[in-house]
């Protein structure tokens, strides 16, 4: 029964996340701009914050960094953050924000649910569907690869 703040201005993103968090007792508070995230966290600390990458004039990266800066200054308690990224290249920046997790679009309910559960349990989540490809059956040989 999590209380979640979702920052997104695209209706389809809101629908996807609400579809996953639709159990009785789940609360999803939607804000349409990144600058509205901090006041939501200050007013009523959520269990989780989910940030869409591109939201208005303050996107997910800036909103997450603002939360982390306020936390490091002792003005707010820690709240886990899940980022909804547009492409795999955004993972580099996601790591810099100290977000606990990220999913690369297109979104699907299974990955959202896994990520939310992991973060609510105090863990982290890196979208496995967007890791660089590996070549199956390739075995390194030579010194140090025994």
pLDDT digit string, tens, across residues 102-122: 999 999 999 999 999 999 999
pLDDT higher than threshold 70 for residue 19: yes
What whole-number distance in Å separates Cα of residue 54 and Cα of residue 21? 21
What distance in Å separates the CA atoms of residue 124 and residue 100, rounded to the nearest whole number?
A: 5
- Does residue 106 have a cis peptide bond before it, meaning omega lies within 30 degrees of 0? yes
Residue 36 inside a domain? The answer is yes
- For the stretch 27-75, pLDDT in tens is 999 999 999 999 999 999 999 999 999 888 889 999 999 999 999 999 9
Asked if residue 136 belongs to a domain, the reply is no
Indicate whether 146 pLDDT > 60: no
What's the burial of 41, exposed, middle or buried (CB within 10 Å: 0-12/13-18/19+)? Answer: buried
User: What's the total number of domains in the chain?
Assistant: 1
Residue 144, domain member (yes or no): no
Q: Given a cut of 90, is residue 143 above it in pLDDT? A: no
User: In this structure, is residue 141 part of a structural domain?
Assistant: no
Q: Residue 139 falls within a domain, yes or no?
A: no
Structural domain range at position 120: 3-130
pLDDT value, residue 139 = 52
CATH number at residue 90: 3.40.50.2300
Verdict on whether the full-model pTM lies above 0.85? yes
Mean pLDDT over the full length of the chain: 89
User: Cβ of 84: how many Cβ atoms within 10 Å?
Assistant: 29
Strongest mean pLDDT among 23-27, 91-95, 115-119: 115-119
């Amino acid at each position: 029964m999590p209380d979640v703040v979702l920052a997104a201005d695209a209706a389809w993103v809101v629908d996807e996340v609400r579809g996953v968090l639709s159990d009785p007792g789940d609360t999803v508070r939607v804000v349409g701009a990144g600058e509205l995230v901090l006041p939501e966290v200050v007013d009523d600390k959520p269990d989780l914050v989910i940030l869409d990458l591109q939201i208005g004039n303050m996107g997910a990266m800036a909103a997450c960094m603002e939360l982390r800066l306020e936390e490091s200054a002792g003005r707010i308690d820690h709240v886990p953050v899940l980022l909804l990224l547009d492409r795999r290249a955004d993972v580099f920046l996601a790591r810099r924000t100290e977000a606990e997790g990220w999913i690369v679009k297109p979104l699907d309910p299974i990955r959202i649910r896994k990520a939310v559960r992991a973060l609510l349990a105090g863990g982290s989540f890196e979208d496995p569907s967007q890791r660089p490809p590996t070549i199956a059956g390739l075995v390194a040989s030579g010194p140090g690869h025994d």
